Structure 1
Amino acid sequence: MAQHEEDRLHTHIWKALQFLLPDDAVAWSTENRQMGPREGMRRKMRGCVPGVPDMEIHYQGRTFLIEIKTPKGSVTKVQRDMHKRLKAAGIPVSVCRSLEDVLYFLETHDVPLKGVVMA
């Protein structure tokens, strides 16, 4: 049930960003869910690593990474470790629990949005 809630939140955020991100921003989501041992091995062989944040946004030569969690969702140790490594590499990473969290993260990093979200 919690996974479906996170999927709904992820979809909500993604749909909003399609309208709100600047036209010259490039964004995508990363599917890092485990799909069994065979798929896990295949991904590992191709260089997929655990703990990579859910969403990437690229804007004017900068990268922003977002880990999407529900209000009650927890960040795993693998995710915390990866976030620490990414931050050490100079890449902003944020755990966001709502669309408002995502927009705040982007605004504090000077990514201009094309509109506002009305509650």
Structure 2
Amino acid sequence: MTDCLFCRMVAGEIPADVVHETDRVLAFRDINPQAPTHVLVIPKQHHPTVGALALADPSLLGEVVVGAQTVAEQEGLVDDGGAEPGFRIVTNTGRQAGQTVHHVHLHVLGGRGLTWPPG
């Protein structure tokens, strides 16, 4: 999709601070971070929402979730038996939920205490 911001990032038309990449998944730092670690994990193939991706290609959704776990490990957010790290994975679906880019993406947030409910 030529008008999709994330598709343009995948195509290399828009620069991204990439932290993880596979043949089907891309992870990059959010340009407006809401936590010390804020990385977006996307499928390289365009799907507008997590539900649409789950219906179209469940294995790709699994790869995106594995990408989020990989990012959390790389960023030191996974408990290694020492400190008490942790992270949150968030996906927004639709305008009411705050989705502004209609290409499914998981937010990996961490590096500080995260409150509940999120707001």
TM-score category of the 2 structures, normalised to the smaller one: 0.3 to 0.5
Higher helix residue share? 1
Higher strand residue share? 2
TM-score, length-scaled by structure 2? 0.35
